[in-house]
Chain A
Amino acid sequence: MTTLLELSGLTKAYPGVVANSDVSFSIARGGVHALLGENGAGKSTLVKTIYGLVKPDSGSMRLNGKPYTPSEPRDARAAGVAMVFQHFSLFEALSVAENVALGMETPPPMRDLSRRIREVSEAYGLPLDPTRRVGDLSAGERQRVEIVRCLLQDPSLLIMDEPTSVLTPQEVGILFATLRKLALEGTSILYISHKLEEIRALCDAATILRGGKVVGEANPRKASAAELAEQMVGTKLTPPKARAGAVGEIILQVSRLSMPPASQFGTPLKNVSLAVRAGEVLGIGGVAGNGQDELLSALSGERRTSRETVLLEGTDVSRMPPSARRAAGLLTAPEERLGHAAAPDMSLTENAVLTGTARMGLLRNGFLSWSRARSFAKDIIAQFDVRTPGPGVAARSLSGGNLQKFVIGREVLQGPRVLVVNQPTWGVDASAAAAIRQALLDLAAEGAGIVVISQDLDELLEISDRFAALNGGALGEAVPTSSLTMEQIGLMLGGAHDLEEAHV
C-alpha cells in the first residue's frame, strides 16, 4: 500500500502545555489507521492540525507526496481531507439536505442535492431521508448526516473523532461496515478512539499517543487490548475490585414517572419505573438524547413530578426541591460539568457549597461557614486526587477529568443514601475513570444505592449489578448484568435505527 499522508515532526505548544511533540507517522492509502490515546494525549490537536484548524509550531505534512500546509479547513477539504467531529454541528430546525448544503462551498440545487444524498447514503448503507428535520433524528442518524456530508466531497482521507460514543452496538456495526467499504474503495480513514476493542475490530494500523508524543505503533489485529491499554496509559490498570456487598432493602423507588419535555427537542419521560436496593448499582444505558438528562432532573428535584412517583426510603420526595432531597439523602451528579454540576466562574470552595450546605453543616442560621466549606473542598481535592493549585481556583480552570473527580467526590463524600450519576466518566482519562468507578462501588459497598446513567456500555457492564435501557424516554425492565451479552444490550437499547423505523 502506498502512503497517503505523512506527518513528520509535528510540534504544537500552548501556554503551559505541549500538546504535540515531534509527532511523526504515516497513513496508508485505503488503510484504516487508529489514533489511540487518553483524553489530553494530544489527539484532538493533531487532527485539528491535519484539518487546518491548528497551525503547528514546527514539523511538516505531505499529502500524496506533495507538501500539505492547510491554513484553514477549506484548504483541507479542497485537498480531499474531511472530518466528522465528535460534537455535531447541525441545525435542529433545518432538514437534512439543508444542513448538508450549509456545509458546502457551492451547494447544488436542493433537488439534485437530495438525490445525491439519497444515492450516497444508500451506497454506503447509511439510509437517510434528506427531507427530515434534524431535530427529529437520533444521534446515530445525525452522525450519518455528518458522514454523508463528508462523503459528498469524495474525500481521500476521512477523519472520525470518537464516532461510536453516541451509537448503539448495532449502529456501530453499520458504521464499521461503511468504513470498511470506504477503505476498500481506497479512502483512507483516520479513526480516533480510546475504545480498544473497536480499534482491534476495525483498524489495520495504530499510532499510540501519550502526553503529546508518539509512544508506539502497533498492529491492532495482533496486539491484545491489554497491551494497547498499557501503552496508552503508561501503567498497568487495576480493574475495579469485585464486590461482595449484600443487597438490602429497596431505598429508591420510582414508579410510573411521566414528565413532559422541557423544550421542543427534549424527550418526555414515559411511565418510568425503577427500584434500587441498598448496596446495589443500577446501570441505565441508552443512546444520548433518550431521556437521560430528564431522568436526572426528575430525580435531583430540578423538575417536580406527580406525587408518589419518587420514593426515597419510603418517603415521597416527588414534590421536594433539590435541597430538601439532598437533606433526605438523595444526591445527584449531572452530565454537564460546567454550568450544571458546577458554576464555571466560581471557586471550588463555592462549588462545594453548591450542593454541600445541608449535609455538610455548612449553614448556621442562614449564614455560610466559609472555613468549613473550604475544608470540605480541600477534603474532596485530597481524597479524589483533584489536580489543582487549591480550593480558591475557578472551576473552569480545571481539566474535564479533574472537575469530574471533584463533582463526583463532592457527592460521594456527603455520604448519600442514594447517588444518581449521569455519564460519570465522560471525557475522563482512563485512570481517573477507574478511580471514579471504584469510588461508586465503594459507596455501594457501604450500603448506598447507586444509579449510573451512562452511554458507555463497557462501563455499565463493569460496575452495575442490574442493567436497564432508556429508549425514547421509556425505561425497560432491569436485568441482572451477569447474564447479558452485548447483542442483547443492543436490542434492549432499541436496536439499529432504520430509516423506516422512526426513532422516538
Chain B
Amino acid sequence: MIRLERRPTPSRVWAAASPLVAVALTMVAGGLMFAALGKDPFEAIRTIFWDPVFGEFAWYFRGQLLVKAAPLILIAVGLAMGFRAGIWNIGAEGQYIVGAICGAAAGLAFYPSESWLIFPLMVIAGALGGFLWAMIPALLKLRFGTNEILVSLMLVYVAENLLASAAVNWLRNPDAVGFPGSRNLGRWEAASNPELIAGTGAHWGVVAAVIAVIFAQIMMTRHLMGFQIRLAGAAPRAARFGGVNTARLVIFCLGLSGMLAGLAGLFEVAGPAGQISIDFASGYGFTAIIVAFLGRLNPLGIVAAGLLMALTYVGGEAAAANLGLPGAAISAFQGMLLFFLLAVDVLSNFRVRVGRGVVA
C-alpha cells in the first residue's frame, strides 16, 4: 500500500524541483500522445522545444518568443498574487479582452490625431478597463458573497460577446467596406505599440512585464501587503487575527490582476494583433493560470514559466505547420503540464511511504 505522510516542514528541494519534474513528465506523456497520433514523438518534441530556439528558423521564432511570453508573464504575475491569497481570478481572459477594447476605443476616438498623448491614454484606458472588469467579481463577492471563480469565469464569455460586437459593430473600421475588425492600430503611428529593438520582438508589453515582475517581487518579499497576501492564503483565520482586511485584499488582488491583464490586452491589440477582431482572444488569460502555477506563484519563477510556455506556443505552431499536429494536441500538451505540476507538487508537502503503516 502506498501512503502519503505529511512532512513537518515543506520540502524546499521538491518545491524547486517539481516544475522540472513536471516538464519532464509532460514530455514523456506528450510524446506518447504524439505517438498515438501517428507522429514521431522525438521529432515532435524537438520541433516544439528545440527548433524555435536553435533551429534553422530560430531568427524568426526567437522574436515570437517574447511576443508570446510578455502577455503571459504580465497576466500571470497579477494572478499569482491573488492565488497566493486564495483569491481565484480565473477570468483574466475577459479582463484581457476588455482592456484591449477599452484601450483601442480610447485611441480610436481620436483618430486620426497624431498627438503623442494617444498611446499613454490608451495604456491608461486599457489598464482601467481590465481593472473595472475585475471589480465586478470583487464587488459581488464582497457584497453578496458570490464565488469569484464562477463570476470571473462567466464574465469571460460576456467579454467575448463584447469583443464580437465591437469588431463587427461599434469599433468596425468605417473604411473597410463591411469587413469586420477595427482600424489597424499598427499602421497608425500615434497608437501603435511597435517592436522597440528590431528582431527581438520586444514591445512596450515586454517593458511592462519586466516592471511588473520587479514590482511584484519586491512587494511579495518586502512589503506588508505581500506578507498579508501570503498570510491570508496560508492561514485565513490567523490573517484575520493578525489584522488583515480581507475586503481590501480582495479588491487589491482582483484589481491588480485585472489591471495587468487589461494592460496585456492593450499591448497586444496595439502591437502584435494590430486591431480588434473577432478572433482577438487567444487564450493568454487562461494559459497564464498555468504559467502562474508553473512559476510557483513566484514572480521570478513566472518569468521562466512564461518563456517556457511561450516556447510551447511557438513550437506548437511550428509543429502544426511542419508535422500536421492538430492545434488541440498542443493545448492538451499545455494542459498536461499543469496536471503533472499539481500532481508532483504534492511531494513538497508529503512524502511517499510504501507499506502498511500506522494510523496516527
Contact = CB atoms under 8 A, between A and B. Distances in A.
A322 B241 contact: yes
B223 A368 contact: yes
Interface string B215-244: 000000011110100110011011111110
B358 A55 contact: yes
A14 B258 CA distance: 49
Contacts of A368: 222-224, 227
B115 interface: no
Interface string B338-360: 00000000000000000000111
Interface in B282-307: none
B234 A322 contact: no
Given A326-B243, A353-B227, A367 B222 contact: yes
Contact of A363 (B224, B241, B245, B358): B224
Given A53-B359, A363-B224, A394-B8, A302 B230 contact: no
A301 B243 contact: yes
Nearest to A296: B241
A239 interface: no
A379 B353 CA distance: 38
Nearest to A356: B242
Contacts of B239: 343
Nearest to B242: A354
A355 interface: yes
A340 B243 contact: no
B9 A394 contact: yes
A352 to B, nearest CB: 11
A369 B239 CA distance: 19
Contact of B231 (A53, A301, A343, A367): A343
B238 A343 contact: yes
Contacts of B245: 321
B120 interface: no
Given A301-B243, A367-B222, A368-B222, A343 B235 contact: yes
Given A55-B358, A394-B8, A346 B235 contact: yes
Interface string B185-224: 0000000000000000000000000000000000000111
B243 A346 contact: no
A339 interface: yes
A468 B360 CA distance: 38
Interface residues of B, number: 23
A109 interface: no
Interface string A388-403: 0000011011000000
A332 B243 CA distance: 12
B10 interface: yes
B223 A342 contact: no
Interface string A95-137: 0000000000000000000000000000000000000000000
Given A321-B245, A326-B243, A355-B242, A340 B237 contact: yes
Instruction: Describe B's contact surface by its main secondary structure.
Output: helix
A161 interface: no
A350 B227 contact: yes
A415 to B, nearest CB: 18
Nearest to B359: A53
A339 B238 contact: yes
Contacts of B243: 301, 321-324, 326, 355
Contact of B224 (A324, A326, A332, A357): A357
Nearest to A324: B243
Contacts of A397: 8-9
Contacts of B222: 367-368, 370
B224 A396 contact: no
B52 to A, nearest CB: 38
A37 interface: no
Nearest to A350: B227
A449 B260 CA distance: 49
B227 A344 contact: no
B225 A366 contact: yes
A302 B240 contact: yes
A301 B244 CA distance: 11
Nearest to B230: A346
Interface in B124-149: none
Contacts of A328: none
Nearest to A358: B243
Nearest to B218: A367
A345 interface: yes
Contacts of B8: 394, 396-397
A326 B222 CA distance: 22
A336 B175 CA distance: 68
A42 interface: no
B224 A339 contact: no
Which of B10, B238, B239 is packed against the most chain A CB atoms within 10 Å? B238
A340 B241 contact: yes
Interface in B238-260: 238-243, 245
Contacts of B237: 336, 339-340
B227 A394 contact: no
Contacts of B230: 346, 350
A283 B241 CA distance: 22
Contacts of A344: 234-235
A340 B358 CA distance: 29
A340 B238 contact: yes
Contacts of B224: 357, 363, 366-368
Nearest to A397: B8
A357 B224 CA distance: 9
A341 interface: yes
A300 interface: yes
20 contacts: A322-B240, A322-B241, A326-B243, A332-B241, A339-B237, A340-B237, A340-B238, A343-B234, A343-B239, A350-B231, A354-B241, A355-B242, A363-B224, A366-B223, A366-B224, A366-B225, A368-B224, A393-B9, A394-B8, A396-B8
Given A339-B237, A394-B9, 14 more contacts: A54-B359, A324-B243, A332-B241, A340-B235, A340-B237, A342-B235, A343-B239, A344-B235, A345-B235, A353-B227, A357-B224, A367-B224, A368-B222, A396-B8
Interface of B: 8-10, 222-225, 227, 230-231, 234-235, 237-243, 245, 358-360
5 tightest Cβ-Cβ pairs between the two chains A and B: A323-B243, A343-B235, A322-B243, A397-B8, A354-B242
